[in-house]
Amino acid sequence: MTDIAGHLHNGHLYAIAAMAFVTLLLRLGGYWLIGRVPLTTRLRRGLEALPVAIFAASVVPLAIKGGPAGWIAAPVVAAVMFLSGKEILALATGVAAASLARGMGL
């Protein structure tokens, strides 16, 4: 079986399916595990801090490497995320801000 370009074979499809299955198992396993752990105040605070930690670990290095467009997009993403709490909206707004900045020559 191949895709339109003729590059995707059955082995590739099996690998993609296996990775998707393992990802699903890990995600479901996390929900199962957290359901069996007592939710202490310390754990709750740690879980509440995760979005900020993930943002810092993933967006900040990209913003630094992205030059002026990245420097403009990162605070836009942070502001939209803070105000709306919606990751996809923040991501789309950040991409739009970076695109506008690059379009303006930054």
pLDDT in tens, 27-59: 999 889 988 988 899 989 988 888 778 878 877
Q: What is the pLDDT of residue 91?
A: 85
Rounded Cα gap, residues 71 and 65, in angstroms: 9
Q: In terms of domains, do 45 and 84 share one?
A: yes
Q: In terms of domains, do 62 and 89 share one?
A: yes
Q: In terms of domains, do 88 and 105 share one?
A: yes
Q: What is the pLDDT of residue 6?
A: 61
Give the three-class secondary structure for 106.
Answer: coil
Q: In terms of domains, do 64 and 105 share one?
A: yes
Q: In terms of domains, do 12 and 58 share one?
A: no
Q: What is the model's pTM?
A: 0.53
**b/e code 43-77 from CB counts within 10 Å (16+ = b):** eeeeeeeeeeeebeeebeeebeebeebbebbbebb
Q: In terms of domains, do 20 and 53 share one?
A: no
AA letter at 96? A
Q: Name the domain count of the chain.
A: 2
The residue segments making up the domain with residue 100 are 40-106
Q: In terms of domains, do 76 and 101 share one?
A: yes
CA–centroid distance for 72 within its chain? 19
